[in-house]
Structure 1
Amino acid sequence: MSNNFISTIRAKGDAFSIGFALGQASAASFRARASSSEQFRALDARWRGSDHLKSLESAARAAYPRFVREIEGIAAGAGQDFETIFLWNCQGDLRLPEHVSPAAKAIAATGCTTLLIPAEGDTPAIIAHNEDGSEDLLGACIWVEVEADDGPAWNSFMYPGMLPGHTFGLNEAGIVQTVNNISPQDFQPGVPRLVICRAILDAKSLDKAVEILKRKDRASGFHHNLGEAKTRRLASVEAPASGCAVREVTSPRAHANHLVFEEFGGLEQTIFPSSRKRQEAADRMIAEGALAGGAEAVLFDETTPIFCDNQGDAIGQTLATTVFELFPDRVEWRVHATPGERDALNGTMGVV
């Protein structure tokens, strides 16, 4: 297991100032690991200067100008031009060229396992999540804690050069979000999916978060796991560009990184073997009572493996594992770097 140090950065102020601090913190990792990847080079060659990329930018500026300002700050802090960082943030909204290697396509589609465990009696509701990504990003990601001039304070796990929100995070309104990649083929001009995820970190309620995901002008989509501490409600939301299906969670369930709701049964998608195996294994382990040992008993499973260590057909790498416990007045959270490095980070955010 490679070293997986997760640094912490605190930022505050207006949108550009926040982005600038995050860009500075991830500048070296972006240069060394992200911008040199086959995936980024292929997207850059295909889409830089294109009308489609410009349409994504226009849609983002029209819908959420403050979050585009954060991207501008990230670019400045990282010492990159805006188009480079915006393109990097739109990678999930852009089709990879056909000549890209199967390994690069698989890495682009890697993506996470989440457990949603509703509250019983006085117990907290729980959202627990494996964040899976490219092995190149192991040890390059950051935990960010932000006090914004506009909107609630929020925390999130951040990839180098990327707008936070599309991994796992929470805000002081008690909204928790974890995100799983999906790979349907319904791309359209619209608001990039990372901007949508960042918008949810500003949501003041679960209902407001779901409203954001029901926008008709999303360029592509994710599966979102949402929680609201005040009510301890949990929701599993599949939101490709062409639709949005919401399930309020009343019994423990898992979600890997492909669409499983019947609303999208006819939508073309790519399902990688690892995702299918993780979904089946997590469902089986929940049914067998594994959650009695805590969420980690499932997320650290190495037989399927649910915990991805770049073995077998699990091309991705688990970059961090998080557990959020949602109480009416607070969210308690912990982040494990690896199964052997538990509680690398932890904290409590009071609900305002």
Structure 2
Amino acid sequence: MTSVNIREQSVAGLRWLVVSGEREAAFRALGEHTRENIVAVQNSMPEREDLRRFTTTGGGRHTLAAVVEATAREYPEQLAELRALAEGAGVDYQSILLANLRGDVGVDDGTGCTDMAWHRKSSFVAHNEDGAPALLGHFMLLTLEIDGQQPVTAQWYPGFSPANAFVANAAGLIWGINHIQVAGPIYAPGRHFIARALQQCTSFEGAIDYLRTHPSAGGFAYTIGESGTGRSATVETVAGRVAVRSATEESPLQWHTNHVRFLPCPPDMPTASGDGAATGKLGQYSESMARGKVLEGLSTPAAEPDAAWFQTILSSEPVPCGVHRTAAGNDPLMTLCTTVADLTRERLHIRGADGATAEIALPAFARGELS
């Protein structure tokens, strides 16, 4: 029997699992180890019933089948990980698969998360991970040391492929991911599985090229940085179309929330009009526009910013002063974690939902080490 090791630790109030071993055995053991968390997260998904109803319709079944077929054809290993996770947790694989494809079949998935990047003399990538308050206590860090693969640490929602939030790998690549709603997906692989495979890229150019050449059914915005060189870029990949914008000395500050900024946009995708209002069928994206307005209005620092500058913006609440979310009023989400990666100094600053903070060397973080 293949040996699998699971080590527990914590940082900034977040649970942190470090899992090593053969791929499928490791995910099976992870599922068993986090069974209660997986069940709780799956039961708390607000879009769960909408997904089930949609996929009982003729069009919904057809779309789901086409996306599953494309994913199985191009990402069999990543699907096998998810199946092993479900087996270990003793939960229905089809239900978990549907949850992982929720942004790839056209069902509304709300908004959440904010990314920033800076590249001039110093370089940073920063990410706010926003989720439902019910996920507090289940959301965690997960380091995977899979046999034959480079180590990677991801922010993880149990029951999902560990790929849809913030990631750092042993090659020095760091990125945050923002959801982009797509009402008219294409028949292509699911975005979670593309993002999971991306974790084995070893260069900045390779990561950008990978996203250019691997279209997804739904939409993600990746804010990618490279430790050491400090290069960074935002990649919008939306239903088969891709746009890349890099931070430069002339325009060192980049940001992204949950609406399309760089791609020409058809009416069934959220974008911004000249007055900042949402266009098309998705008026709820006014919340994403509001966060974007805060970031658009920032003055570019004359001197180089530090990690505290990003922490202040991402931890200030609420709009119109900052982008930190508190699940107050009509907002259904809260900021579960704020992460600032100092690419120049190779340090990672992390702030949990309770305000606890920690600083870790970036290479150590990717390997699952506390210092």
Distance of 1:17 and 1:249 partners within structure 2: 40
* Structure 1 partner of 2:69: 58
* Deviation of the 1:230 alpha carbon: 4.2
Equivalent of residue 206 in structure 1, options 204, 217, 240: 204
Unaligned segments of structure 1, at least 5 residues: 97-104
Do the aligned partners of residues 41 and 25 (structure 1) sit closer, same or farther apart at CA in structure 2, a change above 3 Å counting?
farther
Cα deviation digits, residues 281-334 of structure 1 (max 9, x gap): 12223447795652111101114141000124433211111111224xx84223
**Counterpart code for 1:296:** Q
Normalised by the length of structure 1, the TM-score is 0.86
* Structure 1 partner of 2:39: 31
* Deviation of the 1:36 alpha carbon: 4.9
- Structure 1 residues 148-157 or 281-290, which shifts more? 281-290
Pairing 1:153-232 to 2, within 5 Å after superposition: 153-215=151-213, 217-232=215-230
* Deviation of the 1:114 alpha carbon: 0.9
Equivalent of residue 68 in structure 1, options 46, 68, 79: 79
Q: Does 1:322 align with 2:333?
A: no
**Counterpart code for 2:352:** A
* Deviation of the 1:26 alpha carbon: 3.4
Root-mean-square deviation (CA), in Å? 2.5
Distance of 1:82 and 1:303 partners within structure 2: 38
Unaligned segments of structure 2, at least 5 residues: 1-11, 271-277, 279-284
- Structure 1 residues 38-47 or 172-181, which shifts more? 38-47
SS at match of 1:246: strand
CA contact under 8 A between 1:119 and 1:126: conserved in structure 2? no
CA contact under 8 A between 1:193 and 1:222: conserved in structure 2? yes
Equivalent of residue 87 in structure 1, options 93, 98, 102: 98
**Identical residues among aligned pairs (%):** 27
Q: Does 1:348 align with 2:362?
A: yes
Pairing 1:88-103 to 2, within 5 Å after superposition: 88-96=99-107
SS at match of 1:349: helix
Cα deviation digits, residues 63-85 of structure 1 (max 9, x gap): 12221111112111221122121
Cα deviation digits, residues 223-250 of structure 1 (max 9, x gap): 1101122422101111101310001111
**Counterpart code for 1:19:** F
Q: How many residues are matched? A: 332
**Counterpart code for 1:214:** R
CA contact under 8 A between 1:56 and 1:219: conserved in structure 2? yes
Distance of 1:201 and 1:217 partners within structure 2: 16
Runs of 4+ aligned residues of structure 1 deviating over 6 Å after TM superposition are none
* Deviation of the 1:20 alpha carbon: 1.9
* Deviation of the 1:164 alpha carbon: 0.8
Distance of 1:59 and 1:42 partners within structure 2: 23
* Structure 2 partner of 1:101: none
Distance of 2:224 and 2:170 partners within structure 1: 14
- Structure 1 residues 28-37 or 78-87, which shifts more? 28-37
Normalised by the length of structure 2, the TM-score is 0.82
* Deviation of the 1:31 alpha carbon: 1.6
CA contact under 8 A between 2:106 and 2:184: conserved in structure 1? no
Distance of 1:283 and 1:66 partners within structure 2: 40
Do the aligned partners of residues 216 and 145 (structure 1) sit closer, same or farther apart at CA in structure 2, a change above 3 Å counting?
closer
* Structure 2 partner of 1:138: 136
